[in-house]
Every structure is written in structure tokens, then in C-alpha cells.
Structure 1
């Protein structure tokens, strides 16, 4: 994919605004949004070809699907695993009593999934008469398009047009990009999180609030935004005191209020689950029910899941692997090309990484949960090297069918 630019990149100054210029794509000069939508549509066409080919081959060959489905169609093929829980929420809501097994342990149930995506899908179902699977796919695809457009603007704000375009290409054509068109809440979450990050970059702190509050009810992970706001507050306050940059009082208030409101939203769902079920630990015990197949019944202690998981399967070597992975992530965040993306992007990425380490058990879903870190794909070392970006794009495309086979026929996405 050959891409060029016909506009200058935005300057690095704080709060810089730009119209984004025009992008040269496939030999034509296009408005930035047109180029991004072409990239996105091309990526969805390719992924659909991969998914449809596997669906047809599996149906004809009688392959065993890892996720059982009733009334198998291509849309229900795109509505497996988590999609089945979202369908239950869209059609029947949440249980008022937690299901338990014979030993009294909480079993997997819908309280692990947040309500915004299934509620939007339900509204579309009511308006159009569509069943859950096609309505859910349509919402996911549309939100994915929005996420690609907003991601471009996020990287453009500090990284320039070339980095913005290629970061978006990597996002659209990555190995796990099928989540942009299945009945998962991912693409809606990406749209809202990238939107909150863009508002933060543009210092429209009041706009951060509705976007992040919505994200907090789409998927877990929105707490990264208030933590990033805290980092931005400290950085801007220090810069103001050193006379390098003004941090007006009204913006200080906006950051503090936005941080408090979004943090409250990020912590609200466990309280809602407790109130609805009468079980104080309803949400946590539900989340832990997904851990039992990997590490057995454990209590939740923040910052321990990665160590519990790796210790069980690899002992001391596993713990050392986690430490090395964390050190590697810190190393990435301190690279010049990443730091050039701006304080907001680095703070957001660090905060989201901390969230994953604090609360998530690192099983196969980890790879799709890393996708909110897509702005890091705009680092100059990757996007300004023709060889590096060609390799990254080729690997992403090549791994898509591999991921589909592994996650639909051997494991789960």
C-alpha cells in the first residue's frame, strides 16, 4: 500500500489543531477522512474474505467449532463467545441472582459484560427488525470506522500525517482486527477511548467526561483515562511552575473534575452489580469465574494476576518473564519516537498497560485487549521506515487467518 502526503504535519505545540490535509493513496490525493475510510473498507473486505472462507470450509468439511451455535449462519459465526453473552443481555437483561455450581462458586454469567453495546444493538433491532447477530455486526463495523477516523486524528496531533496514516493501517489490518466486525464491544470501546484521548490532547477536558463515561459502560479499561488525566495534570502543573507553559486555573479545574467523574464511572459497575444481585462481590466473583479454568479458585489481589498465571505454568521462569515484559513495555514508552507522540498518548498507554497488569489474567484474550494501545503504532521508528512498516503490515495480514483458525476452532477470542 503506497501512501504519501500533500500537507505539512502539524507542529508539536500543545493543543495544536489541524484539518489533517490530504493524503495520497493509491495514486490519488484524497481528503484525510476519505483515505481512512478507504483503508478501513479495504481491511474489512479482506477480513470478511478470510472469515467467509473459513466459515464455508468449516461448514462443508464438518469441522468442529470451538463455540457451539444454533442456527449456524455467517452472522452467527461472527457472534460467538462473548457475543452470546451480549445477545442474552440485549434480549433478556442481566440475572438478578448469580448462578452457582454445586460447590457454591459463582459461574460465568452476563455481569462480566457491560451494557452499552448490547443496549445500542437492542435499539437497532427494535428500529429495523434485525436479529441480534446482523445488528451487532453492523454496530461493530460502524464503530470500527469511527475508531479508525479518531485514531488517525490522535496520532496526527503530534506525530504528523505519515505516522497517523500508518498507525491506522496497522490498526485496521492487524492480526486481531476481526474484532472490528464481530458482535463484541471492542470497536465501540476503541471509538470512545480514542475519542476521550483526542479530547485530552486538544485540551477539551469537559468533552473527555461523556466519552469516557460511555466507555466505562462499554468495556472495562476506561480507568486508564482518569489515570492519564492525573499524569497530564502533574506534568502541566510542573511546566507552569517552571515558566515553560501556562496552565490556567479553569483548565486545572476541568482536569480535576473530569478525572473524578470518569474515575467514578470506571468504578461504578461493580457497585451496580452488587445492588442488582444483592451480592457484595458480584462483579469480582463473576470475573474470577473465568480464571478457574486456568489457575483454579483464587482471591483477587490487584497486580498479582500475571504472576499467579506465569508461576503456575512456568514457576520462577514465568515470574522473570513477566518482569521482562514489563521492563520491555517501559522501554518502549521511553523511546524517542513514542515520546514524540505527546505526554497524553504516553500517559494513556502507560495507564492502560497498568490496568491490564493490575486486574487481567493474561490468557489468549490478552492480544485483543492490547488493541487500545494502537496509538503507539504511530511511533516514527516504525512508520517512517518503509521496510519496517511493510514487514509490520505483511505480518498483520498473514496472521489474520492464523488467529481466526486458532480462536474459532481451537480456543476462543
Structure 2
């Protein structure tokens, strides 16, 4: 049997998520094992963060992010978390801040409202300050995202591959975002859950999950694009008589795609209406670009070329083309395709989104984490040597990332 055929059999056998996982010769409920992985990873990451925080405080190191209230909680909420705090405590500004030349400066409109709203709710119920509340919210949704990640991968390629996807997700170099006062973990949960609903063909469920994701972080537009790709694929397969694709499912997919697309485009309009500034959101986002490439106009599909050309000219542009080709090659691999049409369509759509609108700087590595389902590809999880190398590298790079991002740059 060929590798392609074996992967096909594996995907077929993995259509139902295993309810139990065998570990060290004993079977446990799947969620117990996955939560144990998450807790172990948080203990490890928290230990690293506490060690660095204590060393930096005692040694009076310079923190890259200014902190008016030095504590471990604010250490867990450096940089962009301050904007979430402003939103949670005072909402959004109705007037955009500008410099002497009239250019829009960095402000809260770059950050979406769902995460600070949930943190605000916890603050109201418990009396906690923003930073402890936001860390709790982030950690809870980090656990939820890990559980959903396991389920969606297991539904296609089985428990072992799904467990390794969860392990690599939790112990990756930037896995600290699963517990700091950022919206990442909430976004991961919503996007993974929407993808899982898509894979289960529960298209109506994609709507509330996708709409919520649209007001959590940019990137939700990958969902309606993925739905469109899956719709076309199912239509072709149905015309060949290989799949039943009734009108109810077609209508559900069209409605879900339309609603989530509108939701994904709504925030710039809301920002414009509230501030009275037509390009409020786009100009706010561009204010973060000035330190890297200066003041530029936004043109989709150009940011990566603008950035790499500035620093490496033709070689930079060639690197971008190579990265695009490498990503396309990765998605074409039989092992990745075993994860299912939905996962491949989502990965391609999210990759296109990042290429179309994002400036590739240090935040890129954090923004790649929604592609975590790809870590469940059987070729990776089944190769003991490769998976151990990836895991060890992830663990070893965590303190490096913390040092670089907390004391030299930003997360």
C-alpha cells in the first residue's frame, strides 16, 4: 500500500473522535489527557515567566514595555494589553489621536472588543483588576482552544496525531500567548470551533462562532473564504455522484459565508462611524507600520514585498515568492491533505489573509498559530524523531522568545 493510500485509510478511520486516549499502557478520557498536557505546559511557561520577572526585578533590567504598576500580572500584560485595558475600562475614543502632520497615531481602534468585554465582565463579578482578570480569561480560553484543536484533528486522523498537535501547540515557542492578557487564546478557540463545525457540516453553528471571532481579532475573513472553497469542492464532488450535497446544506453554507464575511468587514465601518474618520481603522493599523517601513498607503497583497524590499531589495522579494511556493507545497502534501478539505481550505485562506494585509514583523510568528491544526499531519506526528525535535525546539525557544520580546522587542 502506498503512502497516499495509507493516509487515506487513516483519515477514513479517524472520522469519529476517540473518546479515550492510551497513555503509558492505560486508557483515559480524551479531555483528561488533553487538559493534563495544557496544565503541564502552563506550569512550565509560568515558571519561566516568574523566573524572568524575578530576575529582571532584582537585577533592575530594562523592560521593553513601560509599566506604571510593576507586578507579575502587568508583566503578563505587556505592550498591547494596555490597549485592551483602556477598552475594558473606558471604551474606544471618539476622536483619533494625530501627530503634528495630521497622521493618525496608535490607538485602541486597532483592537477588537470581545476579549476586553469578557475581561470587563469578570472584573465586575469578581472585583479583580484588569490584568488578573484578563490573564484568567486568556488561560481558560487557551485550555478550551486546546481541547477543540484535539477534537477537530482527531475527527480526521485519529487520537495519536491529534494529541501531538495539542502537545506542539501548548509547548511551542510562543505558547505564552495562551495565558497572557492578549486576545489570542479566545481567537484560537473561536476559529478552531468554527472550523470544527465546518468539518462536522454544522454550518449554521459557524455563524455565531465566526461573528464572535470577527470581533476578537483580525483574521476571521479566512472562514468565509474557506467556506466558499469547501462549497465549490463539495459541488464538484456532488456532480460526480460521490457526495450528497442537498439544498439545505447549500443554503446553510451560503448564508454562513455571507454573514461571516459581513462580520469580518464590519469593524472598519464601525470605527469610521464612531470617529467620523473615513479610514479610521486602516490608518490606525498603518500607524504600527511606520517604525518598520515609514508612512505608506495600504494596498492589498503588497505589505510583504514592501517590507522585504526595504531591507533586502530583490533578494527580499525572492524570499517572499519562495515562502509562498513553500506554503503551497506544504498544503499539497498527502499527509496534510489527510486532515481534510476544510483544514486545507482554512489554512490556505488564512495564509492568504496574512499575505494580503499583514506586515511581516515579529508578530508574524504569533499570528501563525491559528495554523496549529497542520501540526496534526500524520507524517509529523508518526515520525518519533521529527516530532521530538520539534517539541524540544519549542521548549528550548520559549525562554529565548520571552527574553527577546519582553526585554528587547514586544510580543
How far is the alpha carbon of 1:25 from its aligned partner? 2.8
Whole-angstrom CA distance in 2 between matches of 1:224 and 1:175: 24
SS in 1 for 2:37: helix
Residue 133 of structure 2, aligned match among 132, 135, 141: 135
Corresponding residue of 1:3: none
Q: Answer yes or no: is 1:392 the counterpart of 2:390.
A: yes
> TM-score w.r.t. structure 2 length?
0.97
Cα deviation digits, residues 344-383 of structure 1 (max 9, x gap):
0000000000000000000000000000000000111110
SS in 2 for 1:24: strand
SS in 2 for 1:68: coil
| Of 241-250 and 299-308, the range deviating more from structure 2 | 241-250
Residue 193 of structure 2, aligned match among 166, 179, 195: 195
Cα deviation digits, residues 130-164 of structure 1 (max 9, x gap):
00000000000000000000000110111111110
Q: How does 1:58-77 map to 2 (within 5 A)?
A: 58-77=56-75
Corresponding residue of 1:119: 117
Whole-angstrom CA distance in 2 between matches of 1:13 and 1:132: 46
Whole-angstrom CA distance in 1 between matches of 2:12 and 2:27: 27
Whole-angstrom CA distance in 1 between matches of 2:404 and 2:89: 29
Q: Which segments of 5 or more consecutive residues in structure 1 lack a partner in the other structure?
A: 1-8
Whole-angstrom CA distance in 2 between matches of 1:184 and 1:151: 19
Corresponding residue of 1:316: 314
Whole-angstrom CA distance in 2 between matches of 1:28 and 1:115: 44
Whole-angstrom CA distance in 2 between matches of 1:25 and 1:53: 31
Q: Which segments of 5 or more consecutive residues in structure 2 lack a partner in the other structure?
A: 1-7
What count of residue pairs does the alignment treat as equivalent? 404
Whole-angstrom CA distance in 1 between matches of 2:109 and 2:61: 31
Residue 305 of structure 2, aligned match among 304, 307, 310: 307
Runs of 4+ more than 4 Å apart: none
Corresponding residue of 2:178: 180
SS in 2 for 1:30: strand
Whole-angstrom CA distance in 2 between matches of 1:267 and 1:20: 37
How far is the alpha carbon of 1:11 from its aligned partner? 6.7
How far is the alpha carbon of 1:17 from its aligned partner? 5.5
Residue 55 of structure 1, aligned match among 33, 45, 53: 53
Corresponding residue of 2:259: 261
Corresponding residue of 2:5: none
Whole-angstrom CA distance in 2 between matches of 1:272 and 1:10: 48
Q: Answer yes or no: is 1:31 the counterpart of 2:20.
A: no
How far is the alpha carbon of 1:39 from its aligned partner? 0.2
Corresponding residue of 1:158: 156
Q: How does 1:334-353 map to 2 (within 5 A)?
A: 334-353=332-351
SS in 2 for 1:267: helix
Corresponding residue of 1:5: none
Corresponding residue of 1:249: 247
1:282–1:412 distance in 2 versus 1, CA, 3 Å:
same
Corresponding residue of 2:108: 110
How far is the alpha carbon of 1:28 from its aligned partner? 3.5
> TM-score w.r.t. structure 1 length?
0.96
